[in-house]
Structure 1
Amino acid sequence: MKYRRWLVVIYILITALIFCSCNKNSDYVEPVLKELSQASWNGRQVGTDGNIKAGEYLTNLLKNLGYETFIEESYYHTYSQYITDSEALPTFKIIYESGNIEELEPGIDFIINRGGSSFSIKGELSKAWDEGEKTEIILSSESIKSQDIHQSCKLLLVKNDNFRVASNAYRLNLPYNMIDISPEVYNKLSEAENVQIEAEYQPNNKNGTASNIIGVLKGKSSEKALVLSAHFDGVASFGKLAMTCAYDNATGTAALMEVARQLAERAKKRPFALDIIVCFFNGEEAALEGSKAFTQILNTKYEKDKVYNINIDCVGGKNCGPLAMKPFDEMSNLLYEAMTKHLQEWNIPIKKDGLYPSSDHANLASNGIPVLVIGENDVFNLAHRASDKIENINISEIKNICDALVDFIVKNDGNTFYNSNAGTDLSPAEWDEIRQKAELLTKDMELDFNELFVFEFKNQLFCKSGYRPLRSEEELKKYYPDAQLPDFSNVNILKDYTIDTIDISNDNYEFVNYYWGKETGKVELDLKMDKTRNARLIYSSGNKAVEINMHPSPMVVIDPEYSEKELTGDYEGYRIFIGDYDGKPEGFGYYDNAKKQYFYVYFYTREPITVDGNTGYRITTAFLDEEQVYEFIDSFDFKNKGESYFRAIYGR
């Protein structure tokens, strides 16, 4: 008992020392970042001691800054949370034909998604998979979609040369279990004959509770509010794969605390016109549960046109790119435009239409309020990886972002950026009802490519489009007389290929959407290529296809499972897209910012499949290696010929 009491005293003394370093006149970024990233807190996964200690630490800092409680008399907002076992590890054994047994090391040889259910599997390993083959354990060099796996499969082993700890509390609903294995293990299993696999995972996942940490700086009026947010939870270590989650999201948490410090100092001299609510969300890595619970409370305190949100998630990462700036939805356009202009004035690098995965701002957006995330474009270069450590963080960059955000908040005091022209929010069930109504109204109607059918639903107009992919240059010119297919006659790569699909994203590209005109019934559109957002051409030969995308503005083409490799020298302007799972090239792009011409090329095989009566393709990259990508780059030569390709299809 005395020993435990001394531990408590030591922790209080350490916390007091931290408060001394985080005094009222110094910035909080570095000390808060270091405290949250300590190894003993093990990534601050929700439900762990490290998470609880992080919450206590943030609470004391908010209180020290003079923030008031937001919910009754406590900074803690406790909510229901599904807790994933952070300590349970699976066992994975290879049983060779000789009888020898090799037990693999978690975090080095393999990794799993902790959000999966428990399992205990033993059986023979199958190295080849056929759609009709009944096998229980399959070895694969790449991820296979769940609907492509035979129902008999119980375990899928997937090669992965760059392990990433998955978000920790998704209750997955896959019909099979999946284990990512290292290339070394994959090669070992590929070469061995008559191998059996024995794998078991018995986590103690459970329903429990967790707490957001929330404080408020009261404004002159409490009718309006700015919600500043960042999640402080992370993901725990997995065996030998140690996690501190410095980047995701100790950086955002430290930045928010520094912004909170500066705003509190400013408010002493001149109170803000609105309430400033500082939310350190929990459970972001566990299906965004913390912000979801908070959103329900926010509804009861403020009207949706009187509140907006800025969410900070992953900043200051080395080699993680510029801030990814993109309006989350139509409601957020005004906030996006104002912040984009402001950050440019501060010379902070941004990428318009940048990529950012889901975070807590998504839940607040469901309230119909403007939201914006401050996060970097290439977060998964660090996030959820072993390299997510404090030495890979640029602290001065975070400080600059903090100062810019404070300046933005001060200059826009009282503005909530509500976009009264934004469309009405609809639930998924309502959208399903709209689609069903659209199908019913047009079932006997042959809508042409350039036609819409407009109808009313709950006092709002919607339209069903006759859009379809075009199949020939003749059909393209029927709707776009000035457009033509680019001259690829000298592109050796396409020598044996013919045009397969012409996909033009235009005013009628969405099959069912809002309609902002006044007329109803059948409407013919005057389509113009200068309104086109993207032209996608697919050339095919047998089961192989080459897809060429041409954009008048840079577009997001890489999802969190892919990374970009920028080329230099003679290939400056090009970048190769590389799959994280298998390290294979998926495609490449060429960016001509001066001419505002952007090209994206993919090469893949298409295997027809039928799922639940619906036909489609299983897509697999056909690039063998980066050397083959360079052959494609040289053949298309976008640097010298891209303008002529672009002018052909767009007429400009």
Structure 2
Amino acid sequence: MKKMVHFIHTILILTMMTSCAQQDKDLHTLESSLTFLTSDECMGRSTGTEGNQLAASYIADQYKTFELDTYNDQYYHHYKQSTYDPATATQELTVFYKDGTQKSYVYGLDFLGSMIEDTSVKTQITTDIHDLDDKIIIVDEHTPAFNFRQSNAVGRFKKTDVLFKSNHVRSDDKFSVEITNTLYDDLMSKDVDYVTYKDNVSTEEKEVNNVIGILKGKDSTHALVLSAHFDHVGFAGDTIFRGAIDNASGVAILLELAERLKKRSLEEPFDMDIVFAALNGEEYGLMGSKAFVPSIKEHYHFLYNINMDCIGKKDGGDLAVNSQREELLLNKKLQEALFNHFSESDIPVTDQFYGLSDHYSFNRMNVPGVTIGQGEVFGENDTTSIHTPEDTVDIVDYDYMNRVVDVLYDFIIHHDGNMFRRHEDVSLSVTGARWIERNLLHPLTA
């Protein structure tokens, strides 16, 4: 009997150990990270929201599990930025028809406008670019080219297959609203008397967080900063913009690298520190990285940055190694090394500009840095698009993400101690930096 009890007890222990090991393994997979970050609880992770803070807490908990060192005695790097609350930011659009009927359309489902403070209009619509005075122009694929910004139109309704959302709040005298095919058909097939449109949005400054963990190396005057932004564009009405590719994918890769590199360091420490930076506020114009880079530069003599943004989209095209101001050669050595490493690993890679990301905050302070991300993420060639409700875990290629993780892991080990820096000092000109910020960080919603 005792032998039987001992046998059963042993089986129970082994079962519990297997279960715990499986739970521990499942906790840190790319899929589990993406599932949580795109969940209803995170609500699109817009900076300053409860969902954004839940995402930050999740990342900090992973750092703690991996036993990474803290940054300034905690995993949170606090900074302040202007934000808006998606729960109170609403838009109203009602169409009044000549037969005396009216219909109010659903924000986030039927239409989605660029957010402009204090917008309220009651006016007629037109499809004629020569009849724009104080009207809303309806734009589709057949509309002739014209200068909307310099026209007399008060606003624009643009037909689209899927709604695209931005987090930029503007003070402007013109608004642009994306409308679905259903709303477009209503406007085109019925006699419209006038429409009313109202934008209810206001901003406030909040203290928010980047989430930073550090893997200490032999020389803590040098560091590689691996980064990925964890914020996204939140929600509009009942529609959640989950941001699986943009950029839960980059955060999942960041966490996977943190776990694997930490385990590798237990065999032998790396020659330099590795900083894991989950950055906030990217969708507001790189606000988190703008606040973080001056701070991290005070801790190290030399840095370089690899930023991960939008990786693993099934129809996302080849991987791009993206940098800014290449004529200054600030990132040439790093870019060439990454190109060679990915090419040798049989992952197609290209040099193309597909948008600005947090590496620019490093570049503007004379720190080498590039973003790795796929080149077709904005719906090119009739593919799915980020910043739309399409960006869910359904469009994620986990095998591709794992391959990228493997290559980056190998690259970091192979190039441990290399700073990829120029001998002479290079910095962006004030004029060049201002042009990029004015034209690329705050683009007008199309």
Question: Normalising TM by the smaller chain, what interval?
Answer: 0.7 to 0.9
Contact 1:355 1:378 in 2 (8 A): no
Q: 1:240 to 1:26 in 2, by over 3 A?
A: closer
| Match among 295, 298, 301 for residue 296 of structure 2 | 298
Q: 1:216 to 1:160 in 2, by over 3 A?
A: same
Letter of the aligned partner of 1:66 in structure 2? Answer: E
The corresponding residue for 1:342 is: 341
Post-superposition offset of 1:283: 0.8
Q: 1:353 to 1:264 in 2, by over 3 A?
A: same
The corresponding residue for 1:318 is: 314
Q: Aligned with 1:208: secondary structure? A: strand
Aligned pairs for 1:249-648 (under 5 A) are 249-303=247-301, 306-328=302-324, 329=326, 330-350=329-349, 352-380=350-378, 381-420=384-423, 423-428=426-431
Letter of the aligned partner of 1:400 in structure 2? Answer: R
Aligned partners of 1:19 and 1:164: how far apart in 2?
A: 42
Post-superposition offset of 1:182: 1.9
The corresponding residue for 2:5 is: none
Aligned partners of 1:359 and 1:126: how far apart in 2?
A: 37
Q: Aligned with 1:148: secondary structure? A: coil
Contact 2:43 2:242 in 1 (8 A): yes
Q: Aligned with 1:40: secondary structure? A: coil
Aligned partners of 1:277 and 1:431: how far apart in 2?
A: 28
Q: 1:266 to 1:199 in 2, by over 3 A?
A: same
Q: 1:144 to 1:92 in 2, by over 3 A?
A: farther
Contact 1:146 1:174 in 2 (8 A): no
Contact 1:157 1:180 in 2 (8 A): yes
Contact 1:247 1:382 in 2 (8 A): no
Q: 1:144 to 1:262 in 2, by over 3 A?
A: farther
TM-score (norm 2): 0.85
Post-superposition offset of 1:376: 0.4
The corresponding residue for 2:151 is: 149
Identical columns (%): 29
Structure 1 runs not aligned, ≥5 long:
1-17, 433-560, 562-579, 582-652
Structure 2 runs not aligned, ≥5 long:
1-18, 379-383, 436-442
Aligned partners of 2:91 and 2:208: how far apart in 1?
A: 25
Contact 2:81 2:287 in 1 (8 A): yes
The corresponding residue for 2:15 is: none
Post-superposition offset of 1:21: 5.4
CA deviation vs aligned residue, 1:73-113 (integer Å, no higher than 9, x gap): 11111111111221222111001112211111223321112
Aligned partners of 1:222 and 1:233: how far apart in 2?
A: 29
Q: 1:382 to 1:55 in 2, by over 3 A?
A: same
Post-superposition offset of 1:246: 1.3
The corresponding residue for 1:504 is: none
Q: 1:373 to 1:21 in 2, by over 3 A?
A: farther
CA deviation vs aligned residue, 1:582-621 (integer Å, no higher than 9, x gap): xxxxxxxxxxxxxxxxxxxxxxxxxxxxxxxxxxxxxxxx
Letter of the aligned partner of 2:274 in structure 1? Answer: I
Aligned partners of 1:176 and 1:320: how far apart in 2?
A: 33
Contact 1:92 1:197 in 2 (8 A): yes
Post-superposition offset of 1:262: 0.8
Q: 1:343 to 1:429 in 2, by over 3 A?
A: closer
Contact 1:219 1:275 in 2 (8 A): yes
Q: 1:430 to 1:179 in 2, by over 3 A?
A: closer
Post-superposition offset of 1:356: 2.3
Aligned partners of 2:286 and 2:250: how far apart in 1?
A: 16
Q: 1:375 to 1:429 in 2, by over 3 A?
A: closer
Post-superposition offset of 1:50: 1.1
Aligned partners of 1:129 and 1:284: how far apart in 2?
A: 35
The corresponding residue for 2:59 is: 58
Q: 1:58 to 1:423 in 2, by over 3 A?
A: closer
Aligned partners of 1:317 and 1:288: how far apart in 2?
A: 22
Aligned partners of 2:370 and 2:128: how far apart in 1?
A: 46
Aligned-residue RMSD, C-alpha: 2.6
Larger Rg: 1
Letter of the aligned partner of 1:294 in structure 2? Answer: F
Letter of the aligned partner of 1:284 in structure 2? Answer: E
Letter of the aligned partner of 2:315 in structure 1? Answer: N
Q: Aligned with 1:222: secondary structure? A: strand
Post-superposition offset of 1:302: 2.4
Q: Is 1:220 matched with 2:221?
A: no
Aligned partners of 2:338 and 2:195: how far apart in 1?
A: 53
Q: Could you say which structure has the greater relative contact order, defined with CA pairs below 8 angstroms and 6 or more residues apart?
A: 2
Q: Is 1:125 matched with 2:121?
A: no
Post-superposition offset of 1:384: 1.1
Contact 2:323 2:371 in 1 (8 A): no
Post-superposition offset of 1:236: 1.6
The corresponding residue for 2:381 is: none
Q: 1:111 to 1:331 in 2, by over 3 A?
A: same
Contact 1:228 1:277 in 2 (8 A): yes
Contact 2:364 2:433 in 1 (8 A): no
Letter of the aligned partner of 2:430 in structure 1? Answer: S
Post-superposition offset of 1:271: 0.7
